Amino acid sequence: MSDLNCKRFILECLIEYEDGTMPADERALFEQHMELCPPCLRFLTSYRATGKTLKLLKPEEIPPDLAQSVLAFVRSRAGRKA
Amino acid sequence: MKPDGSAAQAEPTDLDLVRGIKSGDEDAFEQMVERYHARVYSLSYGVLRNAEDAEEATQDTFLTLYRKIGTFDESKKFFSWFYRVALNQAYSRARRRRPTTAAVPIEDYLPRFASDGHIASPELPDWSASIEDGAIARELAGRAGEFIADLPPAYRDVIWMYDVEEMSTADIAETLEISIPALKSRLHRARLYVRQRLAEISRAPAPEEVSR
């Protein structure tokens, strides 16, 4: 980690920093780097915002009668009662 | 025992239901539909971005389950097998619905660095605070969904399963039959791509703003 720079931070190590699998000593180096590197801190902030935004992509509602429509469809196609 | 003295009914496992379906138990099939219809719909919606198509893909997925359950290897995890069935159904329908377009070249959207390793990409506005506004966040999410749809499937599947469906890395790796390091690499690159595209649309003024 002695050659830590923005490229290593962003391309190689960021995901492990975020998912918590990075060893503690490397995390400390990362955090030191971010304190001294505003572009990387901004990058991390927007990377996290990307994840939060994606969580909004699930459909807001499931059709209420979906299970029944699935059963009716399968029964009509399966040749015998499903 | 429950408080009323009756024996507690254990929830059947996926494998219990699989074996029930194989033996023609229609109640087992109904329970499987009840257990997984919402997740299959959500996955299908992610690929197809359309409620009607997602519902039809969900129906097709369960019909395939019903017809092909005999091919399921019981030594494997059911959900991984079933998720692949659902993905294949959704992509098959997507190909019928949309003309095939070339997947986006993801490399074009990755950050660039100077020879000393520092960020060399042009500075983009920091849009991250804007998602505190729910309406803006939902609009950005919709655009993010469009951007994901343009990705090569290897990236699209991973980012959808992890960041939208919030599946575990172990389940995703088993479903897609890839290693955890490969999964993380794809996920990270897909996120970098979506981040860049969201930053770019945050930079560009909307057409109505230009005309004002």
From the candidates B22, B27, B33, B187, which should be mutated to test the interface with A, based on the most A CB atoms within 10 A?
B33
ipTM over 0.85: no
User: Where is average pLDDT lowest: A7-11, A14-18, B123-127, B145-149?
Assistant: B123-127
Scanning every residue of chain B, which has its alpha carbon at the shortest distance from the alpha carbon of A46? B128
Question: Residue B209 has what pLDDT?
Answer: 42
Least CA distance to B50: which residue of chain A? A59
User: Bridge partners of B113?
Assistant: B119
DSSP A36-68: H-HHHHHHHHHHHHHHHHHGGGS-S---TTHHH
Within 10 angstroms of residue A60's Cβ, the number of other Cβ atoms is: 8
Percentage of chain A with pLDDT > 70?
A: 90
Amino acid sitting at position B106: I
The per-residue pLDDT for range A21-35, each reduced to its tens digit, is 999 999 998 899 888
Buried b (16+ CB within 10 A) or exposed e, B73-84: eeeeebbbbbbe
Q: What is the pLDDT of residue B36?
A: 96
Report helix, strand or coil for A68: helix
| Confidence at B150, pLDDT banded by 50, 70, 90 | confident
Which residues of A, range 9-68, sit inside 8 Å of B by Cβ? 10-11, 14-16, 19, 39-40, 42-43, 45-59, 62-63, 66-67
pTM recorded for the entire structure = 0.79
